[in-house]
Amino acid sequence: MKKSVRRAAVFMLGVLMCAVTACGQKKPNAVNLADDRETEQKTVYLFGSMEKSKPNAKNTARSAADLTIMQAEEKLGLEVEYRTYTAENYQEKTYDDVALDRARNAMDDLYLLNPDTIKTLGVEGKLADLSGLKSAENLREVVKTANTIGGKLVAIPQEIVVYGLFVNKDMFDRYGLALPEKPEELLECCRVFKENGIETPIGANRWWLETFVLAQAYADLYNGGNTEAEIEALNNNEARYSDYMRPGFEYLKKMMDLGYIDAEAAYTYEAIEGEGPDFLAQKTPIVMAYWGAANSSTAYGNPDFHMQVIGFPSAYGQMPVVSMTGYGIAAGAEHLEDAMNVLDIITSDEALELYSGTNQVISPSRNVEVDCVEALKPLRDRFNEGVYVLGSNAGMELEQWGNTCLIVRELLQGASVDECMAEFDRLQDER
């Protein structure tokens, strides 16, 4: 029931109590139920991109999150009220734009945030420090690394999102091709596909191509044994982001020039909706997507062929790219303590067992392990080996995910690699 309706009901109860009193029937230890109800009712306001699902909804990612919210509501005796972004309400503003504005002004308590937004708000000091939560004690190190700014843990996810290449193993077998480990091996696979009449070997879209670049750019940074020192050098301007990014952009440009990726199509394609039909129709042997696409029948969950999901070919072999959408709390939240308690419960091992088990995803807690579909096991195994690239790292002063995505779009529209690198230099110099 809406709060206004609830209050009206309480008011009517109070009126009835007064009527009883007027009739001389008040008992010695009578309690003012209206006052107690108002005092006990607590509400935490959650701003997100989707509405609360119905109780009988199928086990989608959203309903799984709702189940953990329900756990918090029951344990804490409060209500989590959803405040939902809709494009028609905000017209030209993106979800990130609206979330930034609302969090900066503490218009809500709890926020579901994309990685670039986490970075921005964390740097501005607009997010509360979550490191004191009990659930934070069990987080994987990769989660802490990705969401820590100035020693403060500013966001906690309910899942670790891993990106990789979705491949039609049957098409690889048809032409005697092994799944690629190194960049040059992927080029050779694409050459063979192209020579055998496959017009576009790799399906891509404007939203996820940055994962392809990031895998090349930061494979050594995250797997070469000197991660902290290299990030410190970048933050101190002793190293240039463009030097890391150049190999990734040059590799992507080569793929475009050879016709292995259709730049014009990628620039206009929406994720999965654009490249997905050709992949499912076995016209395109490779697409790039996130872990959950293999679990969804509306994406790639039920293909008519043998599908495998592998990391992006790199100097270190198949390289998963990791990103995280996380929950943050406004530093000036009106219901700060209650919001902290809610987040502590929905990111607890108990809640994450429910969430991860329902969605078959990688849990942010090191104590929670769930099985995955067969197609995802190569990607999962690489991640569990500690081999991955962080697509979003709050400890880097220059935000990576969003900026790389935007600059990749410039490349798709015809910008040179040098022009793209100049843009990274500009961003680094102006931060």
* The pLDDT of residue 193: 98
Q: What is the mean pLDDT of residues 46-51?
A: 86
CA atoms within 13 A on the CB side of 375: 27
* The pLDDT of residue 311: 97
> Is the domain of 154 the same as that of 166?
no
Q: Among 10-24, 100-114, 214-228, whose mean pLDDT is lowest? A: 10-24
User: Is residue 7 in some structural domain?
Assistant: no
User: Is residue 367 in some structural domain?
Assistant: yes
CA distance 166 to 185: 16
pLDDT band for 91, please (50, 70, 90 cuts). confident
pLDDT band for 202, please (50, 70, 90 cuts). very high
pLDDT band for 110, please (50, 70, 90 cuts). very high
DSSP 8-state assignment for residue 137: G
Q: Give which of 267, 215, 241, 221 is closest to 408, Cα–Cα.
A: 267
**pLDDT tens figures, 246-286:** 999 999 999 999 999 999 999 999 889 999 999 999 999 99
CA distance 294 to 300: 5
> Is the domain of 165 the same as that of 307?
yes
Structure tokens given for 21: 């009193």
> Is the domain of 285 the same as that of 335?
no
* The pLDDT of residue 431: 83
User: Is residue 387 in some structural domain?
Assistant: no
User: Is residue 27 in some structural domain?
Assistant: no
> Is the domain of 172 the same as that of 302?
yes
> Is the domain of 195 the same as that of 142?
no
CA distance 382 to 267: 30
> Is the domain of 332 the same as that of 311?
no
* The pLDDT of residue 23: 35
User: Is residue 292 in some structural domain?
Assistant: yes
* The pLDDT of residue 328: 98
* The pLDDT of residue 409: 96
Report the CATH number at residue 123.
3.40.190.10
Question: How many other C-beta atoms are found inside a 10 Å radius of the C-beta of residue 36?
Answer: 11
Structure tokens given for 3: 């709060």
> Is the domain of 251 the same as that of 219?
yes
* The pLDDT of residue 327: 98
% the chain with pLDDT above 70: 88
DSSP 8-state assignment for residue 203: E
Residues 6+ apart with CB under 8 A from 418: none
Range of the domain at 249: 161-323+398-430
> Is the domain of 287 the same as that of 336?
no
Question: 377 — phi, psi (to 5°)?
Answer: -60, -40
Whether residue 150 is predicted with pLDDT greater than 80 in this model: the reply is yes
> Is the domain of 90 the same as that of 165?
no
CA distance 19 to 334: 36
Question: How many other C-beta atoms are found inside a 10 Å radius of the C-beta of residue 329?
Answer: 28
Whether residue 355 is predicted with pLDDT greater than 50 in this model: the reply is yes
Q: What is the pTM of this model?
A: 0.84
CA distance 247 to 380: 26
pLDDT band for 222, please (50, 70, 90 cuts). very high
**pLDDT tens figures, 315-349:** 999 999 999 999 999 999 999 999 999 999 999 99
pLDDT band for 56, please (50, 70, 90 cuts). low
User: Is residue 390 in some structural domain?
Assistant: no
> Is the domain of 135 the same as that of 172?
no
pLDDT band for 58, please (50, 70, 90 cuts). low
Whether residue 22 is predicted with pLDDT greater than 60 in this model: the reply is no
* The pLDDT of residue 63: 79
> Is the domain of 141 the same as that of 193?
no
Number of independent structural domains in the chain: 2
CA distance 269 to 301: 20
Whether residue 308 is predicted with pLDDT greater than 80 in this model: the reply is yes
Q: Between these two residues, 93 and 316, which has the higher pLDDT value?
A: 316
> Is the domain of 208 the same as that of 135?
no
pLDDT band for 120, please (50, 70, 90 cuts). very high
